Amino acid sequence: MAFPDATDRPSRTILTGEGGRGASRFKHVIECADGRYRRLVPDELDQLQGFPRGWTDTGMSDGNRAFCMGNALVVGIPHRIGKAICEIQQD
């Protein structure tokens, strides 16, 4: 697993343990322009899963927001697969 995570390639899977304060290698870490490292914030996790920015911003903690995205499915890919199946069935 690359460290830090590449921002020019597809992302690794988001896991439910993405949030929280403790360090863990399965959390996404990116390198900033100034050379520092940081974890992805909940809005970025929302977008990575195909949801609009702020999708999980309902007043819960950042850790709970990250947990929700770890349990979520990437919505765009199954949607496109379903559309393609429908098109094939209509032909």
Determine the pLDDT at residue 39.
Answer: 94
Determine the pLDDT at residue 76.
Answer: 83
Residue ranges per structural domain of the chain = 16-90
Determine the pLDDT at residue 24.
Answer: 84
The pTM for the full model equals 0.82
* DSSP 3-state percent helix, strand, coil across the chain (nearest 5): 40, 5, 55
Q: How far apart are CA 4 and CA 29, in angstroms?
A: 5
Which tokens is 61 given?
């903690």
Determine the pLDDT at residue 20.
Answer: 82
**Contacts (Cβ under 8 Å, ≥6 apart) of 22:** none
Q: How far apart are CA 16 and CA 73, in angstroms?
A: 12
Contact 74, 50 (CB under 8 A): yes
Determine the pLDDT at residue 6.
Answer: 94
Looking up tokens 């996404």 gives 28
> What stretches in the chain show pLDDT beneath 50?
none
Determine the pLDDT at residue 75.
Answer: 79
